[in-house]
């Protein structure tokens, strides 16, 4: 009789511990699910709401230092102190065409605020650049992802 009560209590304790382990699994799954949903949301907020740079305007220093090229600088505002990784130049159209950067100074991580790039020589004529030019810059603010922005369109 005493053994029957003991077996009943033991089986109830086992059932209770199974319920607790199931609830721990649900909690673990909920935390993992929340993280999976949070990362893309944080990415969107970080890249859309907190941009690294603002729109730029081009200052054309000289047209045709070599035929089919222009010397240009860009003036823009940098909002966040993120490390500059690189830039690329394109001509928009039915398909984007890369523009060759023929000459530039060293890549500099400019400070926050209004700033000007160094002189660059682009392998494109002035009219094409003014009508269809696009400059994309890339920065790293933290180790999770990089920021790309159309600095000039």
pLDDT tens sequence across 104-141: 878 888 889 998 888 888 888 888 888 898 989 999 99
- Do 137 and 96 share a structural domain? yes
- Do 45 and 62 share a structural domain? no
- Do 133 and 64 share a structural domain? yes
Give residue 103's domain range.
57-152
- Do 78 and 131 share a structural domain? yes
CA dist 32 and 14 (Å) reads 27
At 5 the pLDDT is 56
CA dist 131 and 143 (Å) reads 36
- Do 38 and 97 share a structural domain? no
pTM given for the model: 0.71
- Do 114 and 87 share a structural domain? yes
- Do 140 and 97 share a structural domain? yes
CA dist 118 and 75 (Å) reads 10
Helix H, strand E, coil C: the string for 37-85 is HHHHHHHHHHHHHCCCECCCEEEEEEECCCCCCEEEEEEEEECCCCEEE
At 23 the pLDDT is 55
- Do 38 and 66 share a structural domain? no
- Do 33 and 102 share a structural domain? no
- Do 109 and 75 share a structural domain? yes
Q: How many domains does the chain have?
A: 2
Q: Which pLDDT band, with edges at 50, 70 and 90, does 46 fall under?
A: confident
- Do 69 and 42 share a structural domain? no
- Do 83 and 27 share a structural domain? no
CATH number for the domain including 145? 2.60.40
């Amino acid at each position: 009789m005493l053994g029957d009560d003991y077996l009943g209590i033991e089986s109830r304790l086992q059932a209770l511990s199974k319920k607790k382990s199931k609830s721990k699994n649900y909690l673990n799954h909920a935390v993992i699910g929340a993280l999976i949903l949070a990362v893309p949301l944080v990415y969107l907020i970080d890249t859309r709401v907190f941009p690294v740079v603002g729109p730029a305007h081009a200052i054309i220093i000289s047209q045709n230092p070599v035929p089919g090229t222009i010397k240009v600088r860009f003036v823009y505002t940098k909002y966040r102190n993120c490390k500059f990784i690189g830039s690329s130049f394109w001509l928009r159209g039915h398909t984007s065409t890369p523009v060759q950067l023929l000459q530039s100074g060293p890549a500099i991580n400019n400070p926050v605020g209004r700033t000007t790039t160094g002189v660059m020589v682009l392998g494109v004529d002035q009219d094409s650049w003014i009508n269809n030019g696009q400059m994309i810059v890339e920065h790293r603010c933290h180790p999770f992802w990089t920021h790309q922005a159309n600095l000039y369109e």
